[in-house]
Amino acid sequence: MSPAPAHPTDILPVLLQIDCEPDLRTPDRGGPVDWHGVRAMAALLDDWRRQAERATGAPVALAWFWRADPQLGELHGDPAWALRRFAGTIEQQRRAGDCVGLHVHCWRRVGDGTGWINEHGDAAWVARCLEEGYAAFRACLGGTAEDFRMGDGFMDQAAFDRLVALGMRREQSLEPGRPAMPGLRAGERSHGSLPDRRAMPVEPYRPLPRNYLRASPAGEAAVPAWVVPCTTGAMLPPSDPAAAEATQHQANLAYQPGALRRILLNGLAKQRRPYLSVAVRADSALAEARGEVEANLRLLLRLAAERPVRFVTAAGLLSAWGLA
């Protein structure tokens, strides 16, 4: 199928994607780590959900992507540790109508066992990370993870094909406009590279069988999964002529509110049929940027006061648009 056709609509769908992570990205010690950020984010969004429902006059559905991968096996003795430890929280999320998806990173122990490398260059390791994540999800939640977000912006064709074979039906972590790069953060060890996403679509699409970054044209074969891209945009004002060519940033609640608003406006300007997909990490970043996260949640409520908004999941978006 080709990308979503342009249709006028008064309602702006907004996807709020929460990556549920341990507090530390690369713990420098062995043994379990804390997950205070997840608990704090769940409490914060529980209160915000009620405000958003009053502001929109409609139910609010959020998307929670829970880590399950070999790093958790190293830290907690079980890749499924978070799914078991937070089983009650996950059940509450499901009862609220939220999406519960899977989030996988490819961290690998190196050296004396205290360091980590973001291993994207070893296809067998990446496959192991995905398979352990899906096995954990099935064991704990009794079904496959149809909704998925890869960690740190990574993806390649082999990983995408493996995800589809494992049961993924909605990939939600790809960031249009972002160039290839060795890793997400300077100063962290990494192997391999992040993909060149500068030419990928900015709206939901079903990919070509051998190119996950291209939409399958109408009438041609497509994989049985959707890519629902993240919102990306420049931090420059939309009126700035340089905005279209400037660095594209993923819409994230941890940014300064003015910067996030510019990202959102620039992202909307690129779309024929508008929607927003905004992410946030539920880890120690919440403690470091709680003021920004709370201010940006208020920003989303102000957006709902300016135009009709619905906070939905990717499945809800595709269904509302007649694409699923």
| pLDDT at res. 4 | 45
Would the pTM count as exceeding 0.75?
Answer: yes
Handedness of CA 314, 315, 317, 323 (dihedral sign): positive
* Calpha distance 231→265 (Å, rounded): 10
List of domains in the chain: 12-320 (3.20.20.510)
Burial class from Cβ neighbours inside 10 Å (0-12, 13-18, 19+) for residue 184 reads middle
Q: CB under 8 Å to 145, separation ≥6 — which residues?
A: 101, 102, 133, 134, 137, 166, 167, 168
Q: How far apart are CA 70 and CA 211, in angstroms?
A: 27
- pLDDT reported for residue 31: 64
Residue 260 and residue 290: Cα distance in Å, rounded? 15
Query: What pLDDT score does 9 carry?
Result: 60
What are the residue ranges in the chain where pLDDT is below 70?
A: 1-9, 29-32, 114
Task: Assign 3-class secondary structure to 259-316.
Answer: HHHHHHHHHHHCCCCCCEEEEEEECHHHHHCHHHHHHHHHHHHHHHHHCCEEECCHHH
Which residues lie across from 108 on neighbouring strands? 117
User: What confidence score (pLDDT) does residue 130 get?
Assistant: 98
pLDDT at 187: 76
> What is the predicted pLDDT for the residue at 300?
97
- For 303, other C-beta atoms within 10 Å of its C-beta total 16
Q: Supply the pLDDT for residue 6.
A: 34
